[in-house]
């Protein structure tokens, strides 16, 4: 599952860049974001299929931290636009966490012994 949370949180930061909240010029922030997308894509595509499910399971805790950050972004009250993006980030991060738990549960069920 693609983690769109970084994109949404970045958009929220870019919207508040005029307030100098992030402290970075918008061009530099966009450059860092684009480089992070390329690096992330290269890293994820190099993971062997046998390690993909355990990796997704382990990254579920990071998605939980993303939910907390999205809640903070939604409740900060900077502007209506930031609140809308923060709320959308909460919804998408929660979907990501629940999906991660479902995949982990399915993976663990594959290793259970069946009693006859």
DSSP per residue over 13-56, as a string?
HHHTGGGTSS-S-HHHHHHHHHHHHHHHHHHHHTS-HHHHHHHH
> What pLDDT shows up at residue 18?
46
- The answer as to whether 68 is a domain residue is yes
- The answer as to whether 37 is a domain residue is yes
**How far apart (Å, rounded) are the C-alpha atoms in residues 16 and 83?**
11
- The answer as to whether 115 is a domain residue is no
**How far apart (Å, rounded) are the C-alpha atoms in residues 114 and 88?**
41
Total of domains in the chain: 1
Q: How far is CA 42 from the centre of its chain?
A: 17
> What pLDDT shows up at residue 86?
87
> What pLDDT shows up at residue 91?
92
> What pLDDT shows up at residue 35?
92
C-alpha distances in Å from residue 79, one per residue of 13, 63, 90: 12, 25, 16
- The answer as to whether 44 is a domain residue is yes
- The answer as to whether 116 is a domain residue is no
| Owning domain of residue 41 | 5-110
> What pLDDT shows up at residue 1?
43
- The answer as to whether 21 is a domain residue is yes
| pLDDT tens across the length of the chain (116 residues) | 445 556 566 666 655 544 455 567 878 878 888 998 898 888 878 878 777 667 766 777 777 888 888 888 888 878 888 888 889 989 988 888 888 888 778 877 887 777 65
Task: List Cβ neighbours of 11 (8 Å cut-off, separation of 6 or more).
Answer: 85
DSSP-derived secondary structure letter, 76: S
- The answer as to whether 103 is a domain residue is yes
Q: Are 87 and 11 in contact (CB under 8 A)?
A: no
| 0.75 exceeded by pTM | no
């Amino acid at each position: 599952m693609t983690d769109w949370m970084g994109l949404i949180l970045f958009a929220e930061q870019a919207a508040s860049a005029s307030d100098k909240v992030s402290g970075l010029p918008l061009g530099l922030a966009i450059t860092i974001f684009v480089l992070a997308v390329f690096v992330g894509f290269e890293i994820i595509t190099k993971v062997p299929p046998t390690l993909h499910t355990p990796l997704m399971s382990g990254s579920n805790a990071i998605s939980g931290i993303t939910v907390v950050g999205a809640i903070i972004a939604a409740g900060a009250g900077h502007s209506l636009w930031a609140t809308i993006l923060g709320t959308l980030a909460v919804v998408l991060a929660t979907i990501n966490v629940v999906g991660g738990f479902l995949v982990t549960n399915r993976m663990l069920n594959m290793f259970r012994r069946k009693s006859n």
